[in-house]
């Protein structure tokens, strides 16, 4: 598995050695990010992870400086060495450098309409622990749900090896999260409004003392997608669940908007005379292509999993097939509007849309071709998410670990233990 630290525009601008000020802190981050980014680009059959000499060449630091910095990172258990590799170059064999496994951990959590969950990810991209609870959290009590989530956090922490150090936690939420002032402003499908989620969570001993941050679930899932292979690209990530979220990714970086509220694709209007949405408006996309809407249109119970819909279609259920075609058309209309506005060339279907893609893609593509003004010259491509299940939790853990990569000096001499 690749590492979770996805480079950002901000960090990319700092990928030159500092000449003054906090030299050691800056250059520690420079070296660690290079090792992490190289691990993210390494797949079976790809080139060997970088050695100290490779890092020196890439960063412009001297070999002596890099060697001293790497020793600090190894001592902090942020970087590990692999067995030496004999190369064609003269001199001693190269010693590959890789992210340390099982040492520093980020917790990614999610509250969604029909499940809550927590997972722990290390710097090498391994999922060390995962807990999830299904339920119906529509119009739920935030304090009660967050108490359940805190319990899962405690279980995940207990599942970690004793040597693991938890760097913090990021929580994915299906709604408007104010990245300036912090609260969850609105999650229509949960029925939550102006909730101080961090205060409620950190009141529980399982979470007390952990740095906690919040973000929109689609934005975090898009970070996982960028990490899985779309880094550096521009695309629209669409997260299909009971609600429908989206994230704009430009040159590998999520564009969250002024307040962090961009990407509310599910509340774009498909038909202004359509059914009432949980947000209060009429004809929102969620009422045509969200998970509940799909299951209702197929004559299924909204409590059933998407797999039941797939099984019905495979068994020749025409009503289920018709529901998927109709949802694909509605989704394609909304996406065509977006592509006309923003000019991205790739749409990535995630969440429940990933397994449903074989029955949605043709309808979505047809709408994009007929409604996008520039389609005669540059047709938007429709792809399937590669970020894996629970991408929002993975992306949330990525955010935590990226903060570690940006400030490794804080981990020098830090004690072990979760």
Q: SS3 breakdown of the chain: % helix, strand, coil, rounded to 5?
A: 40, 20, 40
Residues 287 and 355 in one domain: yes
Query: What CATH number does residue 50 fall under?
Result: 1.10.10.10
Residues 169 and 237 in one domain: no
Residues 214 and 283 in one domain: no
Residues 173 and 90 in one domain: no
Q: What DSSP designation does 84 have?
A: P
Q: 303 lies in a domain?
A: yes
Question: According to the model, what pLDDT value does residue 4 have?
Answer: 44
Residues 80 and 145 in one domain: no
Residues 259 and 350 in one domain: yes
Q: 3 lies in a domain?
A: no
Residues 149 and 216 in one domain: yes
The residue written with tokens 């399937």 in the block is: 384
Sheet holding 235-240, edge to edge: 253-255, 244-250, 235-240, 346-351, 381-384
Residues 341 and 236 in one domain: yes
Residues 87 and 185 in one domain: no
Q: 402 lies in a domain?
A: yes
The residue written with tokens 């009432």 in the block is: 276
| Region at 143 (left for phi over 0; alpha for psi -120 to 50; beta for the rest) | alpha
Residue range 120-136, pLDDT digits in tens: 999 999 999 999 999 99
Question: According to the model, what pLDDT value does residue 2 have?
Answer: 41
Query: What CATH number does residue 377 fall under?
Result: 3.30.420.40
Residues of the chain with pLDDT under 70: 1-21, 40-47, 87-91, 180, 229-232, 414-418
Question: According to the model, what pLDDT value does residue 91 have?
Answer: 63
Residues 143 and 59 in one domain: no
pTM equals 0.85
Q: What DSSP designation does 346 have?
A: E
Q: Say how many C-beta atoms besides its own lie within 10 A of residue 386's C-beta.
A: 15
The Cα 264–Cα 273 span in angstroms is 20
Q: Which residues contact 248 (CB under 8 A, 6 or more apart)?
A: 236, 254, 255, 262, 263, 342, 344
Residues 61 and 141 in one domain: no
The Cα 182–Cα 330 span in angstroms is 33
Question: According to the model, what pLDDT value does residue 87 have?
Answer: 65
Structural domain that includes position 135: 104-220+391-407
Burial class (CB in 10 A: 0-12, 13-18, 19+), 255: middle
Question: According to the model, what pLDDT value does residue 22 have?
Answer: 80
Residues 56 and 34 in one domain: yes
Asked whether the beta carbons of 416 and 165 are under 8 A apart, the reply is yes
């Amino acid at each position: 598995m690749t590492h979770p630290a996805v480079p950002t525009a901000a960090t990319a601008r700092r990928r030159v050695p500092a000449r003054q000020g906090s030299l050691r802190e800056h250059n520690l981050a420079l070296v660690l990010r290079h090792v992490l980014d190289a691990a993210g680009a390494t797949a079976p059959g790809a080139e060997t992870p970088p050695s100290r000499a490779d890092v020196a060449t890439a960063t412009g630091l001297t070999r002596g400086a890099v060697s001293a910095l790497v020793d600090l990172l190894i001592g902090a258990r942020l970087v590990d060495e692999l067995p030496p590799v004999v190369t064609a170059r003269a001199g001693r064999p190269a010693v590959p450098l890789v992210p340390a496994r099982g040492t520093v951990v980020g917790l990614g959590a999610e509250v969604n309409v029909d499940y809550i969950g927590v997972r722990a990810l290390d710097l090498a991209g391994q999922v060390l622990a995962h807990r999830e609870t299904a339920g119906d959290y529509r119009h739920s009590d935030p304090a009660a749900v967050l108490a359940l989530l805190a319990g899962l956090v405690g279980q995940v922490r207990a599942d970690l090896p004793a040597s693991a150090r938890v760097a913090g936690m990021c929580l994915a939420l299906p709604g408007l999260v104010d990245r300036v002032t912090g609260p969850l402003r609105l999650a229509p499908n949960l029925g939550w409004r102006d909730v101080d989620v961090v205060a409620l969570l950190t009141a529980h001993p399982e979470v007390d003392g952990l740095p906690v941050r919040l973000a929109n679930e689609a934005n975090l899932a898009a970070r996982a997608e960028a990490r899985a292979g779309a880094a550096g690209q521009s695309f629209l990530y669409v997260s299909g669940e009971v609600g429908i979220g989206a994230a704009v990714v430009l040159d590998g970086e999520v564009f969250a908007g002024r307040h962090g509220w961009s990407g509310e694709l599910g509340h774009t209007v498909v038909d202004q005379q359509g059914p009432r949405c949980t947000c209060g408006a009429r004809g929102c996309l969620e009422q045509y292509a969200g998970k509940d809407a799909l299951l209702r249109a197929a004559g299924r119970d909204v409590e059933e999993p998407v797999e039941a819909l797939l099984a019905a279609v495979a068994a020749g259920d025409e009503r289920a097939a018709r529901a998927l075609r109709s949802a694909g058309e509605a989704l394609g209309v909304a996406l065509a509007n977006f592509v006309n506005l923003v000019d991205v060339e790739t749409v990535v279907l995630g969440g429940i849309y990933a397994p449903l893609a074989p029955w949605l893609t043709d309808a979505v593509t047809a709408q994009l071709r007929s409604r996008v003004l520039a389609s005669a010259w540059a047709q938007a491509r429709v792809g399937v998410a590669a970020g894996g299940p629970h991408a929002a939790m993975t992306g949330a853990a990525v955010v935590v670990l990226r903060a570690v990569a940006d400030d490794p000096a804080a981990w020098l001499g830090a004690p072990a233990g979760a």
